Structure 1
Amino acid sequence: MGVVSVSLLRSSVFWTVDDLQQAAGRPAFAVLTQNAGPLQLKDGVASRRGFEEDLSALHEFITHLPAEFSTPCMMFTSTLPREGSSTIVAAFAAALARAGSKVLVIDGNLHHPSMHEAFGINARVGLTHVLEQHATLQQAVQTVADLPSLHILSAGPVPPDPFALLLSSDLRGLLQSATDRYDYVLIDSPPAGRFPDAFYLASLSNVVFVIAKYGIVQRQPTARLLRKISTPDLLTSGFIVNGALGVSE
């Protein structure tokens, strides 16, 4: 019985990067050997030895996007909660800012926002105020104290129906305004396996990264999610594999 259970587990959970890439037909743009765990910025994952080296492959990829996408709008999501998506967004945004780029992070997870915690900013004004036309983008965006080229649009107060708010607002116009002002726009999305918000946010982005937690998420559901989220209007989409220390390619 134990052998059968282990066999079933191994057949459903991805154990190599190639395994996941073949199932989805999409590439892994970065493989993080260390686990992007609890969301922290200053003393945690963003300064953890080796983590930014892993993210350098992602940086290299986005710097070679076609010229018409000189300001990519990149959405980060996952199949399940706690796969490290928010931590990776925070660390990657900080790395881009330290490299001299003007970066905007939008906390698009209106269910369980966390970017204000990552960067130690005020959460009272944010995306919900802009979508409800109670504030402009310029009024709601905050600057990270020790990284002046890094700007954060927190989620703001959690609305009663996040998906309905996204659909009823001029989110496309907001993102266009953001891409006109910044070198990079990063959207932290709720898990696409749980909330439809992620698919709508993906339809307004030109690059989508699905975070896949090594040895935890199941291969086929994650692959199906990426195929479903990859609309024809996207420039590209693919995986960021999280916590793959020792994983074979």
Structure 2
Amino acid sequence: MFFGRRKKQKEFNKQQLQGAPLYSATQPTSLNAEQIRVLRTNLEYAQLDGKIKSIGITSSIPGEGKSTVSANLAHSLAATGKRVLIVDADLRKPTVHRTFKVTNQRGLTDIVIGREELYTQNLHYLTDLDLYVLPSGPIPPNPSELLQSENMSKLMTDLANYFDFVIYDLPPVNSVTDAQIISRKVDGMILVVRQGYVLKTELEKSLRNLNNVEAKLIGYVMNDVAKEQKDSYYAYYGNDDVLGDSK
């Protein structure tokens, strides 16, 4: 597993330079795109009571595909006519601007520190995808403090009031505290798990980290599942049992 993981890490680092693959747009009939639609449908049903509008997506460690899931889920939701925004809240290794080919000169960090108004040049509306994008903006020296600020909380409230769905692409939860901070501000969290890549101990640690801040874990995405197992690609929704698996 060690050598296989190193190889996948190299592939991940290379992919970061290009952004995440947008299967839901470029390969809409593929199995990957279909499974994203399954995830979308589950979220739409969960939103019937109006309680899940803001969603944080994270992973245990880098390279599990959380940015790919974030981008494809956001696009898939937008394709149904919903008003959707994807926010790059990974202020350490942002990729959303590369995925959607927008400038990262201004973005989330500018808004939170009060240097820019929200609806100036920070939100990008992509007409071909019918999707709104808020890139990270310049990488700050204090990402955790920025995300924990009152300005960030106010911004997230404003965005949730305006959009049908807001998807937050977050850093891995075991690497830094950023994902834990945002998990307390969103309506629900999704954990991306790459099969045959993340160690059980790492997954258990990520679940503990989320549980420690009382994050609402609404489900997880199994990524890189073997073809014969693809029917269980998105295997489960529900907070308590997922956390219970780590005991």
TM range (shorter): 0.7 to 0.9
* Residue aligning to 1:209: 190
Q: Secondary structure at the match of 1:170?
A: helix
Q: Distance in 2 between matches of 1:45 and 1:176?
A: 28
* Residue aligning to 1:73: 54
Q: Secondary structure at the match of 2:119?
A: helix
| Pairwise CA RMSD | 2.5
Using the TM superposition, give the Cα deviation of residue 52 of structure 1 relative to its aligned residue in structure 2, in angstroms. Answer: 1.5
* Residue aligning to 2:72: 91
* Residue aligning to 1:3: none
2:111 corresponds to 1:130: yes
CA displacement 1:123-177 (0-9 Å, x = unmatched): 11100011011112222211114123x1011000001121122223421111110
Larger radius of gyration: 1
CA change 1:168–1:232 in 2 (3 A) is closer
Using the TM superposition, give the Cα deviation of residue 232 of structure 1 relative to its aligned residue in structure 2, in angstroms. Answer: 7.7
* Residue aligning to 1:50: 31
* Residue aligning to 2:148: 167
Q: Distance in 2 between matches of 1:125 and 1:219?
A: 38
* Residue aligning to 2:220: 239
CA displacement 1:96-137 (0-9 Å, x = unmatched): 111211101110000011100000111111000110111122
Q: Does structure 1 retain, via aligned residues, the 8 Å contact 2:123–2:133?
A: yes
CA displacement 1:215-240 (0-9 Å, x = unmatched): 01012321331243146865543211
Q: Does structure 2 retain, via aligned residues, the 8 Å contact 1:121–1:144?
A: no
Higher relative contact order (CA 8 A, sep 6+): 1
Using the TM superposition, give the Cα deviation of residue 70 of structure 1 relative to its aligned residue in structure 2, in angstroms. Answer: 4.9
Q: Does structure 2 retain, via aligned residues, the 8 Å contact 1:108–1:187?
A: yes
- My pick for the range that moved more, 169-178 or 198-207, is 169-178
Q: Does structure 1 retain, via aligned residues, the 8 Å contact 2:52–2:188?
A: no
Q: Secondary structure at the match of 2:116?
A: coil
Matches within 5 A, 1:83-162: 83-139=64-120, 140-148=122-130, 150-162=131-143
Q: Secondary structure at the match of 1:65?
A: helix
Give the number of equivalent residue pairs: 215
Using the TM superposition, give the Cα deviation of residue 68 of structure 1 relative to its aligned residue in structure 2, in angstroms. Answer: 4.5
Query: What's the TM-score once normalised by structure 1's chain length?
Result: 0.78
The amino acid across from 1:56 in the alignment is R
Q: Does structure 2 retain, via aligned residues, the 8 Å contact 1:126–1:156?
A: yes
Matched-pair identity in %:
24
Query: What's the TM-score once normalised by structure 2's chain length?
Result: 0.78
CA displacement 1:11-42 (0-9 Å, x = unmatched): xx9xxxxxxxxxxxxxxxxxxxxx9x933446
* Residue aligning to 2:241: none
CA change 1:247–1:208 in 2 (3 A) is farther
| Structure 2 unaligned blocks of 5 or more | 6-11, 233-247
The amino acid across from 1:188 in the alignment is D
Counterpart pick for 1:59 among 22, 36, 40: 40
* Residue aligning to 2:169: 188
Counterpart pick for 2:159 among 175, 178, 195: 178
Q: Distance in 1 between matches of 2:208 and 2:150?
A: 27
Matches within 5 A, 1:217-232: 217-230=198-211
The amino acid across from 1:75 in the alignment is G
Q: Distance in 1 between matches of 2:68 and 2:36?
A: 12
Q: Does structure 2 retain, via aligned residues, the 8 Å contact 1:46–1:90?
A: no
| Structure 1 unaligned blocks of 5 or more | 1-5, 14-34
